[in-house]
Amino acid sequence: MTRRNCLVTTLAGALLLAGATVLAADDNGDELRERHCLPLAQIDQIEVLDDQTLKFHMLGGPDYINHLPYRCTGLKNRRTFVHETSTSNYCDLDTITQIDTAIGMRLGTCPLGKFEAVQPTADDAPK
């Protein structure tokens, strides 16, 4: 291999390595914005925004929005659900079960979606 070919091969390898590093950085950034699981110990409160959206308020932030893949009819009005797990996380493959507290009856089970980090707004500031 000539000196020029060796230089071209080395340069091409360096460019590939640099590209892989940039892709890895993008993947890590996406990982911070979207998660498959949230640790139960870090969840401060869960707010029901509508029949298909939950907001997970985290201790120390950031908060996460979970868009359920399907509408969970009545969730907004009842605001009461149970999450049963054998792990210490809420995960996107888990389900929540709505409870009618007036009669103590389970009404339906809904799957969770992925957790997307949300940026704090002025409304989220402590008062």
Domain spans, the chain:
3-34, 37-120
- Rounded average pLDDT over 59-82: 87
Q: What is the mean pLDDT of the chain?
A: 75
Quickly state the pLDDT bin for 58 (edges 50, 70, 90): very high
Whether pLDDT at 14 is above 50: no
Judge if pTM exceeds 0.85.
no
Give Cβ neighbours of residue 66 (< 8 Å, ≥ 6 apart).
53, 54, 55, 56, 92, 112, 113, 114, 115, 116
pLDDT tens digits, residue range 26-36?
344 444 588 89
pLDDT for residue 3 is more than 60: no
Number of alpha carbons in the 13 Å side-chain half-sphere of residue 59 = 6
Burial status of residue 107 (CB atoms within 10 A of its CB: 0-12, 13-18, 19 or more): middle
pLDDT digits (tens, 9 = 90+) for 96-106: 888 888 888 88
Torsions phi, psi for 64 (to 5 deg): -130, 140
H helix intervals, 1-127: 3-33, 75-78
Calculate what percentage of the chain has a pLDDT beyond 90: 36
The residue to which tokens 């402590």 are assigned? 126
